[in-house]
Structure 1
């Protein structure tokens, strides 16, 4: 992997993607975190035991029907779905059998997976030898559908499965403990973000010499730039940069920022709430889908929406850069989240899911909740766009 990726007005510290947090930080992350294990129970006793061990190894709490969810005065269906809803991470172990269909038409494991998707749980999907002729047709359909959006892993032995689950959970911890951020044209992972609304302090371990050099230039220029994370977007100015060289091309950075503005520039369509009776969230949805997927912004070229439905592509900075998946996925999430916050489209970004590359295309699904325009109206329903991305 190269030290950084350069494009028009973008510099990405790719090497920081491989940095793992300290064991004590992982232990803090895992403490109290509930991890739901989903599989056919009788078919996978050894696999479930391995999953339980892997979860306990990092200090998290396993949630399993035969241990944590049994002996309740509710139906089994209610117990396992409540278990999913009360968890933070979903571990799915899918073997050759689909399982017995319940009253809703799904097997228990399929229903658990759908509930985990609905609740926005982090997903860890492991599939046995799906090339085997022993797989049920329904199970093949479930796996194929999941692989449109999610990357799955196989396993060879019980010990191999246990280590793969542990490794995946460690990667989730790293993503949470060192999230990707954007500072002007620079993208890197932050180890700490703190602030009081007027000031921000960002700590990071930067492993790209060019990213470090550009941070120094941004500090000296004292210009206004955008800071974005998956939680916020603000216009800022660098007040101070403290840097310690840990080793060649590795700098521990402390970046002190002044907040100039919140970075939100809601469009006229959002402030009005609708145009000619068309809800603003629908306008924003069409505009974003047009930019991301190349879909028509509206069915009428003489639409009164005019420039408000012009295609908007938050990913134009990183298209054609050929980023590794470990870098691409979080940066896609970051850029789309930044656009939704800055445009006033979203109060909450519920999920950004990028699928694996298939013949040069990736399926992307984005779900967000628009802000309430008036206090005396019900909360708006979530908005979802889904389609195929090219050039990423």
Structure 2
């Protein structure tokens, strides 16, 4: 088996900039939970709520809830339902909750709830105040996990909140692609009409044009090489690309864009063989074995004699995701780049496969990836396995924590 090439990850090119209309479109329907002590930060809370509303999202904070009473009964469920968690640190820590075993304040519990639920966290630290010791300790925890913006007055805070929401919107709205061994962001993808017979999928062809704003010389050099055919991975989809043409258009020294034109066709994939009933296992049970070994590094007990599955477990993805996270962290880009890159590379692994390490799925219907928290990440996958010769389709849904701890380090290769 030939060793796979090292992936080239674009860590230099800027993310596409969204205009006001696009930002409001991203924010529409999203809720932002404002969390802080109230007595010392009332003006800040009101200012942040107005900034969030002006941005187009929905602010949620305790003063506006219709139900009075214990914050633990009202506020913490709201944290779980929010799309974004926003923390403001001031002077006070808050009263310890008498029923909490750790004696945390309500604000501290709210933060831990958001953190453990893998919510995006925007954190803001008021400077020039005399802080209680417990709040100083909590701020230290946040600074070790997140980028914490500092502010003095209300105008500083409103500007920082808007910038934080803008950065989050652009990170979540960027489309990443993998072409050959290069992983990079694009600003736009256009699909021409598909050509070919619907009855013969392998004969179908579809011209695709991608526009990018690349600044990484290694990525540009790699894409500029002449190749007749390359693998292509888009969000939740794998294809093969022919007739790849890379051109640059310059409107000035610092205004260079790229066009990548290609003709896409259905990908040549290697998919795990699933038999409707084999060795006492149903197709769904066999598929669960494949997915659990790949995602979580475990092989569940089966119904077959001896308790062993018919399927050979797949190599787990945790070591490669760990290597991806470490590389991004070394460049201080993990907060904005890990989730989209992990989604893209997991799509490639779940759908493409090789003869030595086949893919478990033929279609992904949902893929949710969280940031890395304490060397773990949450993942949810829903998909379909369908092979023409062996029946199906078989449905699968799996979610849980991928744990990087104790994994043998591996490079970020072609998966």
The verdict on a shared fold, with TM-score over 0.5 as the criterion, is: yes
Question: Are 2:126 and 2:150, in contact at CA under 8 Å, matched by a contact in 1?
Answer: yes
Once the two structures are TM-superposed, the CA of residue 383 in structure 1 deviates from its matched residue by 1.9
Once the two structures are TM-superposed, the CA of residue 153 in structure 1 deviates from its matched residue by 0.8
Tell me the residue number matched to 1:365: 377
Q: Secondary structure at the match of 1:354?
A: coil
1:125 aligns with one of 120, 123, 126:
123
Deviations 1:262-316 (A, max 9, x none): 57644348995556x984443223449xxxxxxxxxxxxxx98996354544356
**Residues 62-101 of structure 1 mapped to structure 2, 5 A cutoff:** 62-67=59-64, 69-70=65-66, 72=67, 79-81=74-76, 83-84=78-79, 87-95=82-90, 96-101=92-97
Once the two structures are TM-superposed, the CA of residue 189 in structure 1 deviates from its matched residue by 1.6
Tell me the residue number matched to 1:298: none
2:223 aligns with one of 193, 215, 221:
215
2:313 aligns with one of 308, 312, 316:
308
Question: Are 2:385 and 2:393, in contact at CA under 8 Å, matched by a contact in 1?
Answer: no
Question: Are 1:36 and 1:64, in contact at CA under 8 Å, matched by a contact in 2?
Answer: yes
Question: Are 2:177 and 2:344, in contact at CA under 8 Å, matched by a contact in 1?
Answer: no
Once the two structures are TM-superposed, the CA of residue 254 in structure 1 deviates from its matched residue by 3.5
Question: Are 1:40 and 1:99, in contact at CA under 8 Å, matched by a contact in 2?
Answer: no
Q: Secondary structure at the match of 2:371?
A: strand
Q: Larger C-alpha radius of gyration, 1 or 2? A: 2
Deviations 1:141-161 (A, max 9, x none): 7973x667x314152413443
Once superposed, what is the RMSD of the aligned Cα atoms? 4.7
**Residues 1-392 of structure 1 mapped to structure 2, 5 A cutoff:** 9-17=6-14, 20-67=17-64, 69-70=65-66, 72=67, 79-81=74-76, 83-84=78-79, 87-95=82-90, 96-101=92-97, 108-113=106-111, 116-117=114-115, 121-127=119-125, 134-136=132-134, 140=137, 144=141, 150-159=145-154, 160-195=156-191, 198=206, 200-217=208-225, 220-229=226-235, 231-238=236-243, 241=246, 243-248=248-253, 250-261=255-266, 265-268=270-273, 272-274=283-285, 279-287=289-297, 308-310=313-315, 312=317, 313-315=319-321, 323-326=330-333, 330-331=337-338, 333-335=340-342, 337-339=344-346, 341-342=350-351, 343-344=359-360, 348-354=366-372, 363-371=375-383, 380=397, 382-388=399-405
Distance of aligned partners of 1:317 and 1:123 in 2 relative to their CA distance in 1, 3 Å threshold: closer
TM-score of the pair, normalised by structure 1: 0.69
Once the two structures are TM-superposed, the CA of residue 175 in structure 1 deviates from its matched residue by 0.9
Once the two structures are TM-superposed, the CA of residue 88 in structure 1 deviates from its matched residue by 2.5
Once the two structures are TM-superposed, the CA of residue 384 in structure 1 deviates from its matched residue by 1.1
Deviations 1:240-265 (A, max 9, x none): 55642233375323334443335764
Distance in 2 (CA, whole Å) between partners of 1:211 and 1:79 is 49
Distance of aligned partners of 1:100 and 1:173 in 2 relative to their CA distance in 1, 3 Å threshold: same
Distance in 2 (CA, whole Å) between partners of 1:38 and 1:351 is 24
Distance of aligned partners of 1:307 and 1:179 in 2 relative to their CA distance in 1, 3 Å threshold: same
Distance in 2 (CA, whole Å) between partners of 1:64 and 1:270 is 52
Question: Are 1:240 and 1:257, in contact at CA under 8 Å, matched by a contact in 2?
Answer: yes
Distance in 1 (CA, whole Å) between partners of 2:25 and 2:105 is 35
Distance in 1 (CA, whole Å) between partners of 2:83 and 2:326 is 32
Q: Secondary structure at the match of 1:206?
A: coil
Question: Are 2:290 and 2:360, in contact at CA under 8 Å, matched by a contact in 1?
Answer: no
Distance in 1 (CA, whole Å) between partners of 2:266 and 2:98 is 53
Q: Extract unaligned runs of 5+ from structure 1.
A: 1-6, 289-302, 356-361
Q: Secondary structure at the match of 2:404?
A: strand
Q: Extract unaligned runs of 5+ from structure 2.
A: 195-205, 277-282, 299-307, 352-358, 387-391
Q: Secondary structure at the match of 1:325?
A: coil
Distance of aligned partners of 1:285 and 1:8 in 2 relative to their CA distance in 1, 3 Å threshold: closer
Distance of aligned partners of 1:184 and 1:98 in 2 relative to their CA distance in 1, 3 Å threshold: farther
Question: Are 2:376 and 2:404, in contact at CA under 8 Å, matched by a contact in 1?
Answer: yes
Question: Are 1:10 and 1:317, in contact at CA under 8 Å, matched by a contact in 2?
Answer: no
TM-score of the pair, normalised by structure 2: 0.66
